[in-house]
Amino acid sequence: MAIDYKKELISAAKTMILVHDLRLLIRIIVRTIVQKVKVTHAGILLFDKGKESFVLTVSRGSKGLRIPEGFARMDNSNPLIRFFTLRLDRKILKDGSLTTREAKRKLKDKKLKPAQKQLLKAAIYQMEIFEAVVCIPSYFHDELLGILLLGEKKNGRDFKNDELDFFAALASDVAMAIRNAQLFNELQQELDKKHHLFIHTTIALAVAIDAKDHYTHGHTSRVTQLSLEIAKKLMKKNRKKFDDKMIEQLHIASLLHDIGKIGIPESILNKDGPLDETEQNRIKEHPIIGATILNPIKELGDAILGVKYHHEKYDGSGYPEGLKGKQIPLLASIIAVADTFDAMTTDRPYRRGLTKEEAISEIKRVSGKQLDPRIAAAFEQIYLEGKI
């Protein structure tokens, strides 16, 4: 008749620490309790910072109330919440848990002030709505993080004092785990936010620079999209080489591949008519100018190579360095295919753009000459799948 679930719950509480998914963590806790303690149901009221209120996050059991998640929401004025935030439990109860049995006994206590009595009564009523017979609060320092609600035991018996003591100790582990998960989530959210800020700022600036070149409107975003499609295709074949870091570098490189055009005079960029040789040579400086602009950014390793070499050609006839075949960095070869396709399919003042079909045959024709055949093949596949 010993409390044989203790060991399992303690070990569960310890492992919980490394569960940083708050919803999953709470599910594990509630499920473990329902299974091990053999109660009709269990639930957790968890403080939701954003909503400034306590939300019934999980409610689970073989029998009894199963309130839909997130349905019950209570702010600080709720009597059950107030009972624990005012820390009336310290004055009224010896251990940390509030049981309806003990609470009803306490109501008869003559030392209890009328206001306390009224609050306790209202708290009991709230517990009855949830069909809970025990409430165990979780505090971190003095801040109420949540309340664990337990229904009756399946065998119909009362909870014993040592069980309640145990739950109070467990609740403190749970509070720690919840707090830890919250901190983790906050950090993760900050990271996601920073990532979006970075990508969106880069997009905004790239689009603004793109707009300087009147003939290539929307070019940057199209090349970026095509490059990412190519990477996704290659990723399916070789997960090791094409990881998330590489995709991020490609995203940045394709967004910024023409950034160097900012160093080319508008009079050349937007010239109404064919360029002479000097002007053509000026334009050909843009990959080097781009790499020079990005060079101080240490975190952009491969992305800078993508910018610098996106006009190299597979047979060595490109610029700025005339690199050949596998000498050309992978990101640059990807951008080159996307860039070539977009240049071919865009109208220019002196010629109409090719159709997609014509452009794809042209890409197949120059594959292995101008373009890296692996990338060109992947690009054709994407086209055949209707993704271009």
Can you list the positions of beta strands (E) in 49-181? Answer: 53-61, 73-74, 98-99, 134-140, 143-150
C-alpha to C-alpha distances, 61 to 37, 39, 134, 184, 188, nearest whole angstrom: 11, 8, 15, 29, 32
Which positions from 290 to 329 touch a second copy by CB under 8 A, shown as an x/- string?
---xx-xxxxx-----------------------------
Residue 190 is a binding residue for a second copy (CB under 8 A): yes
Can residue 168 be called a binding residue for a second copy (CB under 8 A)? no
CB atoms within 10 A of CB 26: 24
Q: Classify residue 2 by burial, with Cβ atoms within 10 Å: 0-12, 13-18, 19+.
A: exposed
Q: Where are the beta strands (DSSP E) in 49-126?
A: 53-61, 73-74, 98-99
Nearer to a second copy, 203 or 354 (CB): 203
Element (H, E) at 46: strand 41-48
Q: Which is nearer to a second copy, 87 or 196 (CB)?
A: 196
Q: Which is nearer to a second copy, 269 or 388 (CB)?
A: 269
Could you say which of 198, 281, 327, 384 contacts a second copy (CB under 8 A)?
198
The answer to whether residue 91 forms part of the interface with a second copy (CB under 8 A) is no
245 binds a second copy per the rule CB under 8 A: no
Q: According to the binding rule CB under 8 A, does residue 247 interact with a second copy?
A: no
CB of 186 to a second copy, least distance (A): 10
201 binds a second copy (CB under 8 A): yes
What does R_g of the chain's alpha carbons equal in angstroms?
A: 33
Short-list 220, 237, 229, 224, CA closest to 385 = 229
# residues near a second copy by CB under 8 A: 48
- Coil vs helix vs strand at 269: helix
Smallest gap from Cβ 382 to a second copy, in A, equals 27
Segment near a second copy (CB under 8 A); pick from 41-49, 69-77, 144-152, 197-205: 197-205
Does residue 214 interact with a second copy by CB under 8 A? no
Task: Return the amino acid letter for 201.
Answer: T
Q: Is residue 267 involved in binding a second copy (CB under 8 A)?
A: yes
Burial of 274 (0-12, 13-18, 19+ CB in 10 A): exposed
Segment interacting with a second copy, rule: CB under 8 A, options 45-53, 261-269, 277-285, 321-329: 261-269
Closer to a second copy by Cβ: residue 197 or 384: 197
Q: Any contact of residue 375 with a second copy (CB under 8 A)?
A: no
111 touching a second copy, by CB under 8 A = no
The tokens describing 93, both together, are: 């109860």
Among 129, 208, 275, 384, binds a second copy (CB under 8 A): 208
Q: What is the C-alpha to C-alpha distance for residues 271 and 184, in angstroms, rounded to an integer?
A: 54
E-state strands within 77-224: 98-99, 134-140, 143-150
Q: How far is the CB of 179 from a second copy (least distance, A)?
A: 6
| Site residues, a second copy (CB under 8 A) | 14-15, 17-18, 20, 172-173, 176-177, 179-180, 183-184, 187-188, 190-191, 193-198, 200-205, 207-209, 211-212, 252, 259, 262-263, 265-267, 293-294, 296-300
